[in-house]
Amino acid sequence: MRQVFGVLRLLAAAAIVVAIAGQFAQSWSMVPDRGAFIVNFFSFFTILSNALAALALLAGAWFSLTRRVDPEAYHLIRACVVTYMATTFVVYNLLLREISLDQATTVPWSNEILHVWAPLYLVVDWLLAPGRRPIEWGRLWTIAIFPIVWAVYSMIRGAVVGWYPYPFLDPNIEPGVGYGGVAVYIIAIAAFILLVGAGIIAVSRTPWPYPAARVTRPAASVEPVESTIA
C-alpha cells in the first residue's frame, strides 16, 4: 500500500507543478512589469501552499518507495501542508471563487487543480496513507507559524507597494473595510487554520484505517546493584 501512495504522490506533485507553471506562463505573457509580477505571483498563499505541497508529496513519494517507515519530522511537515491546503480549499470556495485576482488572467484548469483537486488529494492522503504517526497537541502552534508570517509579510508589503494578494487583505478596497475589517478577516482565518490544524492532529492520533505507527524507544537499562554485607 505504501508503494501505491508513493505513485499517487508523484502524480499529484506533477499535477501541482504543471498547474503552477501553466498559470505562471500564461500570466507572464500578459503582464507589463515582469519583475513585480514574479514577487506578486509568489506572494499568493495558494501558490506558496501548493509549492510546499508539491515538495512534501515528492519527499513522501521517495519515502514510500524506498523506506518502510517515514522519518519522524516528515509527519509534522505533512500535517502543516495538509492544513494549509485545506485552508486554501475552504477560503477560495467561500470567499474568492467569483473574484478575479491580479494575475493577468486565470487559467481555469490550473485554478481548479490548485484550489480544489490538490487540496482534496492532500486530505485524502492524510486520512488513508499508511504510516501516519501521532503528533503532539503542542505542535498546533508550529502549524500556525507559516500563515502568521505570510499575513504579516502581506500587510507590510501591501502598505509599502500598494498591492495585496487578496481583496480581504486590502484596507483600501471599495467600499473600504479599513484595517479593522482586515483584522476581522485575518483573525477569522487564523482561527479556522487552528481549527483545521487541530483536526489534522486529532486524525494523526486516531488509529484508523491502520494502527497508528508509534516511535519505539529502547528500554532504559538497569544497572545491577551489588549487596554488601557489613
Residue 2 burial (CB < 10 Å; 0-12/13-18/19+)?
Answer: middle
Neighbours of 217 (CB within 10 A): 6
Summarize the confidence of residues 7-27 as an average pLDDT.
97
pLDDT at 223 over 60: no
pLDDT at 170 over 70: yes
Summarize the confidence of residues 117-139 as an average pLDDT.
95
Summarize the confidence of residues 45-70 as an average pLDDT.
97
Comparing 96-105, 124-133, 145-154, 216-225, which segment has the lowest mean pLDDT? Answer: 216-225
pLDDT at 74 over 90: yes
Summarize the confidence of residues 44-49 as an average pLDDT.
97
pLDDT at 102 over 80: no
- Rounded Cα–Cα distance for residues 220 and 150 (Å): 43
Q: How confident is the model at residue 230, as a pLDDT?
A: 40
3-state class percentages of the chain: helix first, strand second, coil last, to nearest 5? 70, 0, 30
Max intra-chain CA distance, the chain: 94
Q: How confident is the model at residue 131, as a pLDDT?
A: 86
